[in-house]
Structure 1
């Protein structure tokens, strides 16, 4: 005759299977070797504290300078300038002349704020979505393919392990960035938000869609498109400040500038401080990421005397 298991034996077996299930499905933080123990411990402790969190867990990151390198030039600008060099420079037709006039304004006008990002969209207007995606992908493969920070890629893998939705908000043209960021990081295209313009019959127009994700516009972009308070926000520049302040959990600042002293009255606490000082005082986690220049890479931006972004 088969012996029957006692209630104690049954309970023990159930407990054993339950423990095995937990060990198989446990959320495990993978240490990021490029960052010191204090940084890893701070991040791990926070992620562990979110394990019982119900509902959406959202993390939002800037792109250039935060997820991949921006030295010596921004990918968005290099992609546009390379395209202009190949398709418009030296030609006398009306389209080429008008597009080169936009390039001239990008090269010699103010390269900060919403006007600059609008001019990028004006340059791309009239092109098919597929061509703009290819433009971004070509620039990435040819000149930026090794510039995604490995430590940030591991950080994103940790966030996914702990059940976070990862979003990207960039002041660069959305269609230009979505394909290569999606293919490199596995983030769905609809979670890669940039400067949007209306698309009509597969063609980009110059009709901008608000909010424009620049400075305060990045914070509004979170409310408008993500519709959830982010628990983690990461950035690297002044343009990410308002977005980072929306974090309900931790703030990640990548390679913060400690040279430029800001004199802003709209962000009174930044007035008279460097970005590094500001975020140190506001308890952000500062993380280093190596961003250097490959001297062998040919940049159209260099030939056109564009200001160089600092290396780290």
Structure 2
């Protein structure tokens, strides 16, 4: 009898030990997406159950995990900060910072490498903590509630299936780490962006390569994440090279279906972003991204173009 009791106790302990791991790999339906989309994601995730390797998912930030309408948070954080602290002042620092923003406005291409480098130059001289607070405050005041619930549910599923989740953005890294880490429940070191060298506790004008935009986004993956991802998600032409690093599932959120891309867009030439990814067999999903008319956006007052709205279909 004693031997049977010991055996039964061992079995119960083994079941208790392994049950969390079994239940942790149960797919939970993503509300707001169709059964077809859910089935495809679940089927893919189940193929990863027996993998004995790092399972990595990489997502773009703006427009992919949270809304970018009417403006990118990176721009809004900088322009609102300048309006508050630098505009109309004649001290050396204010003049230098305003010159950078005026150069950015004149450039106008806020998805180009020169423009995204200038965002980093604007933040030079600040501490990482101050930059993180700047980004977080902008998020709370103007972007809270703009995280896509479907993407949060997807990320929760990925975690349950044992995935590392990374965010890869062209925006300044310290600016995005605090609010993204808090909202998505991932370590701040898993949020990669435009990196500036920190010397004596402050950011400098020296930028760490590769610059995470266009082909640079793809290069960040082997440089810093150091493995090829099984899942990659993005939304724009600038994410094409990064998405093509996926050796499993490619997810494209609210892709543009109006602008036919030119020769400079390589393999996307002759297609819209949506058309290209449909051809490539990517999973295309829709999340609601519209403007809150009650929120003031300083970026538009500086003359920066608005991002197109994507209402939930």
TM-score for the superposition, normalised by structure 2: 0.93
Aligned position for 2:81: 83
Q: Following the alignment from structure 1 to structure 2, what is the Cα–Cα distance between the partners of residues 17 and 127?
A: 53
1:50 to 48, 55, 58: 48
Structure 1 alignment gaps of length 5 or more: none
Q: Following the alignment from structure 1 to structure 2, what is the Cα–Cα distance between the partners of residues 200 and 292?
A: 40
1:299 to 283, 297, 300: 297
Aligned position for 1:128: 127
Report the secondary structure of 2:98's partner residue. helix
Deviates more, 1:45-54 or 1:86-95: 86-95
Aligned position for 1:197: 196
- 1:13 Cα deviation (Å)? 8.7
Moved over 4 A (4+): 2-6, 12-24
Structure 2 alignment gaps of length 5 or more: none
Please show how residues 1-312 of structure 1 align to structure 2 within 5 Å: 2=1, 5=4, 23-26=19-22, 27-111=25-109, 112-265=111-264, 267=266, 269-312=267-310
Report the secondary structure of 2:263's partner residue. coil
Q: Following the alignment from structure 1 to structure 2, what is the Cα–Cα distance between the partners of residues 134 and 15?
A: 51
- 1:239 Cα deviation (Å)? 0.7
- 1:265 Cα deviation (Å)? 4.7
Instruction: Output the aligned Cα RMSD.
Output: 1.9
> Given the superposition, is the C-alpha separation of residues 208 and 22 from structure 1 closer, same or farther in structure 2, using an over 3 Å criterion?
same
Deviations 1:169-208 (A, max 9, x none): 1000001111111111121111100000100111110100
Q: Following the alignment from structure 2 to structure 1, what is the Cα–Cα distance between the partners of residues 45 and 12?
A: 27
Q: Following the alignment from structure 1 to structure 2, what is the Cα–Cα distance between the partners of residues 13 and 240?
A: 53
Q: Give the structure with higher Rg (CA).
A: 1
Q: How many residues align?
A: 307
Report the secondary structure of 1:206's partner residue. strand
Q: Following the alignment from structure 1 to structure 2, what is the Cα–Cα distance between the partners of residues 154 and 102?
A: 39
Q: Following the alignment from structure 1 to structure 2, what is the Cα–Cα distance between the partners of residues 3 and 22?
A: 25
Report the secondary structure of 1:83's partner residue. helix
Report the secondary structure of 2:232's partner residue. strand
Deviations 1:282-305 (A, max 9, x none): 010001110111100011112223
TM-score for the superposition, normalised by structure 1: 0.93
- 1:15 Cα deviation (Å)? 7.1
- 1:306 Cα deviation (Å)? 2.0
Q: Following the alignment from structure 1 to structure 2, what is the Cα–Cα distance between the partners of residues 54 and 31?
A: 25
Deviations 1:79-136 (A, max 9, x none): 0001100111001122211211111112221423210111111111111222111110
